[in-house]
Structure 1
């Protein structure tokens, strides 16, 4: 099996199980397959968006996607993605890579902390009483919408779109920990909802890329197809693994990838 298929399956598997695995697409293409950052961005977006669409369909089939929240976040993400594209054009590749690695390390630390040190039941109840969270109705499994909930989810969607356009990411690395922070939605439903948002945001960003004259090499489609296959496997395995275990494993993997990528980016400046 060729490396592009192996890496593609790995990215799709991580995305299907955690919702944030799309952050591994760019590092896999750069570190594993020798792509430059500008070459990796569109391939990663297409791979992550296509795989996320399959995961979204699976989530809708099982009824765990919070589609109203997904549409809200996707709408704000689609509006902010072109801004991210413009910012990327104004920055150097080294600057973008340092920002990318810094974001990875921050998200890794955030997800690890949430998994290892979850808030106590008392603190959760205190936060809920203050209206700081998007609460889920225990009977319907749907969000109880408030103004604070609307603003929180809209902000998460906007940030995910901004970074999607700027760094070639699907946005799940922001959506999953963000939704987990502001709501009591369980991990598996959060991942399914994030995949729906990623599919919409990635689709809009990819469309903008092609409209601006972007081209993807034929060989890259093998990586994209493998990512879609990995997604199917990931969505099959995800319900069998605890949410905390997924968060811890994923956060550690992202941390390692970020450090390796940062070292490669900065190494020319230490010679």
Structure 2
């Protein structure tokens, strides 16, 4: 028996809800499993899986990434794995860069925007592959010192107690990386953890576990700035897609973190690299042949 138009519309809406939950769960699951880089799947899933406009997909992605990162931050904060001082510096500069990324995204044609996004995906894949094959992080440029008062230094300094000592050049370096993270977030709707975590370890001398927790704090604030920038720019989202997508993402993160403890990290990351490259290739082909 054929459905009437009202019944068909209701069925379509329910089907879209299910699709949004599944898509959000996949993004959250990948975030929970890999600890970073999973958000790169959000925009392609929304655009090619659900037919969402690319710029609207960026906004939805920022909302989902922001909320899932904030949830992760609260958990890490309770465990004492967040450096709020360094995180605030990064986040404030990132929040400055986000409107610039939003402005650039509004100037770029959708095809160019998606091709640039595919390029970003390949960069993330390359970084994840390196991390999987060489899991040990390069020695920090941040040197310990026993003196609280320092002359201007090229690299950041930490006291013997582990407190970050900000020189003008150190602050400028962290601010520049923070602004870059904000631009990437506003332009592509991703958190930028693949930039934040290496920068925190390399330039601020932060232990890797604390860098992960601090990056979640930074990403949540930068994503909030991105959502505000998108709203000011007149960008709207379909709540019937956004809410189930976000809920699916939150559930996926919890499940991913639980599974991650039982799986081999390097092998898992290599699998995700293959998936990222395949999705990036699909994005490139679809936009070049459109």
TM-score range, shorter chain: 0.7 to 0.9
1:93 is the counterpart of 2:93? no
Residue matched to 1:161: 182
Residue matched to 1:215: 236
Residue matched to 1:59: 76
Contact kept? 1:15, 1:52, Cα under 8 Å:
no
Structure 2 matches for 1:120-159, cutoff 5 A?
A: 124=139, 143=164, 149-159=170-180
Higher helix share: 1
Residue matched to 2:47: 30
CA distance in 1, matches of 2:207, 2:37: 15
Name which of structure 1's ranges 128-137 and 20-29 shifts more when overlaid on structure 2.
Answer: 128-137
Residue matched to 2:6: none
CA distance in 1, matches of 2:214, 2:197: 9
The alignment covers a number of residue pairs equal to: 264
Displacement after TM superposition at 1:108 (Å) = 1.5
SS of residue in 2 equivalent to 1:124? coil
Structure 2 matches for 1:9-28, cutoff 5 A?
A: 9-16=25-32, 17-28=34-45
Residue matched to 1:77: 94
CA distance in 2, matches of 1:263, 1:232: 33
CA distance in 2, matches of 1:184, 1:243: 23
Displacement after TM superposition at 1:6 (Å) = 1.7
Contact kept? 1:18, 1:247, Cα under 8 Å:
no
CA distance in 2, matches of 1:107, 1:138: 34
CA distance in 2, matches of 1:143, 1:228: 32
CA distance in 2, matches of 1:115, 1:186: 18
Change beyond 3 A, Cα 1:236–1:69 = farther
Larger radius of gyration: 2
Residue matched to 1:106: 123
Change beyond 3 A, Cα 1:255–1:205 = same
CA distance in 2, matches of 1:29, 1:110: 24
Residue matched to 1:267: 289
Residue matched to 2:214: 193
Contact kept? 1:19, 1:192, Cα under 8 Å:
no
- Cα deviation, 1:158-197, whole Å, max 9, x if unaligned, reads 1110011112222223223444554664544332222111
Contact kept? 2:27, 2:39, Cα under 8 Å:
yes
Contact kept? 2:143, 2:157, Cα under 8 Å:
no
Displacement after TM superposition at 1:136 (Å) = 7.6
CA RMSD of aligned residues (A): 3.1
CA distance in 2, matches of 1:139, 1:183: 14
TM-score under structure 1 length normalisation: 0.82
Unmatched tracts of structure 2, length 5 or more? 1-16, 145-152
TM-score under structure 2 length normalisation: 0.77
